[in-house]
Structure 1
Amino acid sequence: MAAPMELFCWAGGWGLPSVDPDCLAVLWGSGAPQGGGNSVVSPLGYSVGSKRVFALQKYNADYDLSATQSADTLAFVSLLEEKLLPVLIHTFWVDAKNYVEHTRKWYAETIPFPLNFFLPNAMHKRHLERLQLMWGDDYMEDEEKLEKELYREARECLTLLSQRLGSQKFFFGDSPASLDALVFSRLAPLMKAKLPNGKLQQHLKSLQNLCNYCTSILSLYFPWDGGESHPLRYPAGLE
């Protein structure tokens, strides 16, 4: 077996093992399949605070997908990145009420002194620039127009995901694939965060199968830490 790999990720909170979507995707989508019987083999290995230790395995979550399912994966990944990611950035980092009362507050309370004084604002600026690259200056200058378009497309994206999932356990049946890791990592923070302005969150919570999907993944694959707030270890480049 290959030597363990260490991943330093953002701390857990809001009932999640990490509040960062990219960390969530890696944490859940990094390895082994589900075990048989009543037991579950977590793909994560084990955790020490927010340092995750992985035993790398020769396992490809998409190995058994058909050509059609692989094409569907590419289509839905593109949909998530184009239609859902921009509104998640807006919801957590641009919406003034959410940013001040929820996002900045959490990071300022979690990041140790003295970084908590400037790092949240630096992240805020970086996310603004990212959204500007996605949508252009015209939309960024018209906040009402930007918000209207963002949330319309995001609601459509969530509805399509709900229709595609249907009553299945995962998007391609009884076994998870890479698409499940990506979808879960985008939906779980939106579902679990206590947002003052939760317009898109309300739409997600009306899609019961998507909420059940996220809850099931949390209970199956993260039963031991359930999002407890661990001492923060910074992602690469921030230590």
Structure 2
Amino acid sequence: MAAPMELFCWAGGWGLPSVDPDCLAVLTYARFTGAPLKVHKVTNPWRRAGAQDNPWPHTVPFIRQKYNADYDLSARQGADTLAFVSLLEEKLLPVLIHTFWVDAKNYVEHTRKWYAEAMPFPLNFFLPNRMHKRQLQRLQLMWGDSCLEDEEELEKEMYREALECLTLLSQRLGDQKFFFGDSPASLDAFVFSHLAPLLKARLPNGKLQQHLKSLQNLCDYCTSILSLYFPWDGGEWPGLEPRLLLCWAWGRSQ
């Protein structure tokens, strides 16, 4: 019998199966493809997976499997996927990091609060702050030295571009169920994993969130994926044969 396919990821919250975009992307992609897995929701990123033959993974979430949601895409659709992924990484992701981890009100009242409550003692006293520092470093790498010269002006420009990015996504999706029609692809997993936390989080300072909520088709898109592919919130996905899949957000945050 095949060894169990296991997914280790941050626990869910805000009505999502995982609050971390990287873990959420892997969960969604696996669900789109029908990839079999057993999900372990973790709140202690220092805890080993348990077995000697299952070493601590220090990389971004990865999948080792034969499932491919993009099998039927045309060459042009494949190129569009790369283009939109690059667009989101360049224009939207930095502002998402800023929204959740840098904006003081959001960080203190929402992000840090959630992770501190989710983590066991004594990690909840210091690990959220360590994650915060890592995200600041990550953002500085994305924005470059210019973020030190005129941070306020750069922030305005980055938010403007992020708003435009969301509008472009809304226009590209139109009235379709998914970005390439009636069947989901890897682009849908990537987009959903970035939009759903922004849509569902209860942010005290939510200017980017408010713009997303004004784009009804993107809101319906996220809600539809949640209801279709995550109708339960359990560790095991029923009716699926196990293989191997590991996912840790800790690789990004440490």
Q: Deviations over 1:218-237 (max 9, x none)?
A: 001110119xxxxxx97566
Structure with greater contact order relative to length (CA < 8 Å, sep ≥ 6): 2
Q: Any stretches of 5+ residues in structure 1 without a counterpart?
A: 34-41, 227-232
Offset, 1:132: 0.6
Correspondent of 1:194 among 187, 202, 208: 202
**Is 1:169 the counterpart of 2:177 in the alignment?**
yes
Q: Counterpart of 2:73 in 1: which secondary structure?
A: coil
- Residue of structure 2 equivalent to 1:16: 16
- Residue of structure 2 equivalent to 1:211: 219
> TM-score of the superposition, structure 1-length normalised?
0.85
Q: Any stretches of 5+ residues in structure 2 without a counterpart?
A: 44-62, 235-246
Offset, 1:47: 3.9
Q: Deviations over 1:13-71 (max 9, x none)?
A: 000000000000001102554xxxxxxxx6564545559xxx98632111100011001
**Is 1:145 the counterpart of 2:153 in the alignment?**
yes
Distance 1:44 1:199, change over 3 A: farther
| d(CA) in 1 for partners of 2:143, 2:248 | 29
| d(CA) in 2 for partners of 1:7, 1:47 | 5
Q: Counterpart of 2:6 in 1: which secondary structure?
A: strand
| d(CA) in 2 for partners of 1:211, 1:2 | 39
Q: Deviations over 1:111-170 (max 9, x none)?
A: 100111111011100010111111123324533212201110100110110011001010
Q: Runs (4+) of structure 1 moved beyond 6 Å?
A: none
Offset, 1:4: 2.6
- Residue of structure 2 equivalent to 1:38: none
| d(CA) in 2 for partners of 1:102, 1:217 | 24
Coordinate RMSD, CA, aligned: 2.7
Q: Counterpart of 1:9 in 2: which secondary structure?
A: strand
- Residue of structure 2 equivalent to 1:25: 25
| d(CA) in 1 for partners of 2:147, 2:23 | 29
- Residue of structure 2 equivalent to 1:156: 164
2:159, 2:208 within 8 Å by CA — same for their partners in 1?
Answer: yes
Q: Which amino acid aligns with 1:135?
A: W
Q: Which amino acid aligns with 1:177?
A: A
Correspondent of 1:181 among 186, 189, 207: 189
Aligned length: 224
Distance 1:235 1:84, change over 3 A: closer
| d(CA) in 1 for partners of 2:66, 2:227 | 25
Q: Which amino acid aligns with 1:188?
A: A
| d(CA) in 1 for partners of 2:205, 2:28 | 28
2:92, 2:165 within 8 Å by CA — same for their partners in 1?
Answer: yes
Q: Counterpart of 1:197 in 2: which secondary structure?
A: coil
> TM-score of the superposition, structure 2-length normalised?
0.81
Share of identical aligned residues, percent? Answer: 81
- Residue of structure 2 equivalent to 1:84: 92
| d(CA) in 2 for partners of 1:73, 1:24 | 18
Q: Which amino acid aligns with 1:14?
A: W
